[in-house]
Chain A
Amino acid sequence: MLSFKDFKNGLMVTLWFVFLTFPLLVIKINPIEKSVVWRWHNMLYVACGTFVFYVLSRLYLARKRVAQQKIKAGIIEDKVAWSAKFFSEPKLYIPLAIAGGLFSLVFPALFSTYQVNIMITALMYVVLGLGLNIVVGVAGLLDLGYVAFYAVGAYTYALLNMHFGLGFWTVLPIGGLLGTLFGLLLGFPVLRLRGDYLAIVTLGFGEIIRLILENWGDFSEGPSGIANIARPGFFGMDLSLEMSINYMYYLTILMVIFTIFVVNRLQDSRIGRAWFALREDEIACQAMGIDKMKTKLSAFALGATWAGMAGVMFAAKTTFINPASFTFLESAIILCIVVLGGMGSIPGVIVGALVLILLPEYLRAFSDYRMLVFGAVLVIMMIFRPQGIISTVRRTYSLKD
């Protein structure tokens, strides 16, 4: 399957990478003692690794090509993406959804508190991902400062709880509303911007919010953060640590279900259709008589609402927040969840969140290498599956005669 030329190219690529990684991987300097260590074995690893990887990727591409030729020639049928097939068949996905639901219900009983805790984090990112999905996946507005709304929600709860003793249930809707408000606040000035200008302004907005929280100490307690935030109450009962974590877990599950329900209904609504139209073609969408301004603003506002509520839950879960939790990297990770999972696809975003949050957590064994692997996985996924893990199924209508 591989020709001699492939191997020759492989050799060239190998040489190139050996050259490329030479100063950083082979030479280890100690500028203080003015000494050098030459790590030639690293060069060997790079060479072998590159060559093997090159040959494997060639093989993969060659097989893909052969399959495509066969499809063209009509020998085998084009495979419909398994995910598309899967989600168009209620018979297939309903049992799985029920199984998943049951599993998530008994999860705390099966696993340790630690696992439950991690799962809560992952589920919170599911909510965040679904919220951002409205903005990026459905309405097609690239938002790099989503974490700002998350911070707004978290600080709303922390501050109201600290100053006025308000409880979780009171603040949850307030946090959501404040998220909406900030979404509108950001939405207005950026309405005229498109594409990547929007991206940088939202990034700037996210940074501004974080910097204000960091510097305005009288208001937000500054970088030292707010501690001792109350966990959600359960009819005034005192809960043990384990109980309260399990309780938090079920709350998050409820939140996820609620989010899925609302987002799903929204997508089928008039406004959801308007978002899709906006994403596909702004001009055509306007020509159809859709109010662009209202549609964009509603996408921003609704996306921000979920972030606000997730923020409240985050504060309640960790019981401590500081501005360092709301950096640009956080926005980037939420965006990665949406894109990696599959833009606009609800199951995709759920899978994306679980993979991206649980992966580094369980990669702990590799501690130092986990972020390296994380970065590489993002790149490789995009190259081999740019549409995400589970791509959206375009709604199609078939005429029945």
Chain B
Amino acid sequence: MDYFIELFFSGLTRGSIYALIALGYTMVYGIIGLINFAHGEIYMIGAFTALIVSTVLTIYGFPLLAVFVLTALAAVIWAASYGYTIERLAYRPLRSAPRLSPLISAIGMSIFLQNYVLLAQTSDFQPFPALIPEFDFMEPYAHIVGSSDLAILVVSAIVMILLTFMIKFTRTGKAMRATAQDRKMAMLVGINVDNVISITFIIGSALAAIGGLLIASHIGQINFYIGFIAGIKAFTAAVLGGIGSIPGAVLGSFILGLTEAFATGYVSSDYEDVFAFSLLVLILIFKPAGLLGKATVEKV
């Protein structure tokens, strides 16, 4: 039973990280119908910024709590700025271009950002300080679920609840939903669509940065390539749940995380990714729009 619970928490941890990244994918897709391949790189940049800021602050002798808060803040601010800039530079000029052009632009951006970080910092793996402390009350359970797993679960749950509130009840949230439903109509009722898109990128990037910060602190090392792998998985999760749907992205992420954990635990981690992708194909065969995605009927 312990083993089952251990795997379950391992799956939840993975799932929460995927969810934090997948939300960015799904929100952007919902609004402009673009697979933002550079999103994984935002997650990586968030983690790198966190590493840089926390190292500098530690060297200058800031107390641990201040380091943690300022690091999180910096990671979120810079990742959001990168997200915003990427949208302005690489996607906005292509609003009216053929459907595949922004996709290529996104792939190019992803390659560019990876190499930018590689050149600006280093290609080696860098140790990441454990920003999340080991909680004493978790010690009896440390062999099943670690303190950082718990922190990841709690933080991502809080973030997701906040996001849901924002989208459901604030003016911005309503504008976002309106834009996602029908961009032209939203423009007609006086919504500044360009601003809404920018805000979507900013929020998505901030979430990814939180994910990057948490996972880097959990696993203890980062390099320029971490965004690519995590990005592909998160994207898979978003599609699994129905891309464009926010609850779908969260559901898809947890399903993917749990599948991977249980496949590793009870079968073999050799085929971990094969399980993940096969699950995706299977679900899409029976529900072509993902689990919570709406099947659109096209009318002529």
Contact = CB atoms under 8 A, between A and B. Distances in A.
Interface of A: 16-17, 19-21, 23-25, 27-29, 31-32, 34-36, 42, 136, 142, 189-190, 192-194, 196-197, 199-201, 203-205, 207-208, 211-212, 215, 282-284, 287, 328, 332, 335-336, 339-340, 343, 368-369, 371-372, 374-379, 381-383, 386-387
B265 interface: no
Given A24-B48, A197-B288, A378-B111, A211 B105 contact: no
B271 interface: yes
Q: Which of A27, A207, A377, A382 has the most CB of B within 10 A?
A: A382
B89 interface: yes
A300 to B, nearest CB: 15
B106 to A, nearest CB: 9
Interface in B59-94: 59, 74, 78, 81-82, 85, 89-90, 93-94
20 contacts: A21-B120, A23-B49, A23-B53, A27-B56, A31-B129, A189-B285, A196-B243, A204-B277, A205-B277, A211-B271, A336-B107, A336-B108, A371-B111, A376-B108, A377-B108, A378-B104, A378-B108, A381-B108, A382-B102, A387-B101
A25 B120 contact: yes
A142 B101 CA distance: 12
Contacts, number: 176
Contacts of B97: 382, 386-387
Contact of A205 (B56, B271, B281): B281
Interface string B89-121: 110011001101111110111111111110111
Contact of B112 (A197, A343, A379): A379
Contacts of A193: 284, 288
B232 A211 contact: no
Contacts of B176: none
A336 B107 CA distance: 9
B298 A283 contact: yes
A274 to B, nearest CB: 19
Contacts of B167: none
Given A382-B97, A382-B105, 20 more contacts: A17-B85, A29-B55, A36-B55, A136-B100, A190-B284, A196-B29, A204-B236, A207-B277, A215-B274, A336-B104, A343-B100, A369-B115, A375-B114, A376-B112, A379-B105, A379-B108, A381-B108, A382-B94, A382-B101, A386-B98
Given A24-B120, A189-B285, A192-B288, A201 B52 contact: no
A201 B281 CA distance: 6
Given A379-B105, A379-B109, A339 B100 contact: yes
A-B residue pairs, 9 tightest by C-beta: A378-B108, A375-B112, A375-B111, A204-B277, A386-B97, A386-B101, A372-B115, A382-B105, A379-B108
Contacts of A284: 300
A383 B280 contact: no
Describe A's contact surface by its main secondary structure.
Answer: helix
B51 interface: yes
Interface string B215-242: 0000000000000000010011001000
A217 B268 CA distance: 15
Given A29-B52, A379-B105, A211 B273 contact: yes
Contact of A383 (B94, B107, B114, B119): B94
A105 B95 CA distance: 43
B289 A197 contact: yes
Nearest to B107: A332
Nearest to A287: B300
Interface of B: 29, 33, 35, 45, 48-49, 51-53, 55-56, 58-59, 74, 78, 81-82, 85, 89-90, 93-94, 97-98, 100-105, 107-117, 119-121, 126-129, 232, 235-236, 239, 243, 270-271, 273-274, 277-278, 280-281, 284-285, 288-290, 298, 300
Given A189-B281, A201-B281, A335 B104 contact: yes
A379 B90 contact: yes
A23 B78 contact: yes
Contact of A369 (B48, B85, B113, B119): B119
Given A204-B281, A205-B277, A215-B270, A20 B81 contact: yes
B104 A382 contact: yes
A208 B272 CA distance: 10
Contacts of B278: 204, 208
A381 B112 CA distance: 14
A395 to B, nearest CB: 18
A29 B56 contact: yes
B281 A197 contact: no
Contacts of B235: 200
A136 B98 CA distance: 12
A136 B104 CA distance: 13
A134 to B, nearest CB: 15
A34 B59 contact: yes
Given A369-B119, A383-B90, A378 B98 contact: no
Contacts of A20: 78, 81-82, 85
Contacts of A386: 94, 97-98, 101
Contacts of A21: 120
A163 to B, nearest CB: 24
A23 B119 contact: no
Contacts of B51: 29, 31
Given A27-B56, A335-B104, A212 B274 contact: yes
Q: Which of A16, A24, A371, A377 has the most CB of B within 10 A?
A: A24
A378 B107 contact: yes
Nearest to B78: A23
A200 B280 contact: yes
B239 A196 contact: yes
A191 to B, nearest CB: 9
A34 B111 contact: no
A328 B104 contact: no
Given A31-B55, A372-B119, A283 B104 contact: no
Contacts of A335: 100, 104, 107
Nearest to B293: A197
A369 B56 CA distance: 27
Given A27-B56, A28-B121, A376-B108, A201 B116 contact: no
Contacts of A211: 271, 273-274
Contacts of B33: 196
Given A24-B117, A339-B100, A383 B93 contact: yes
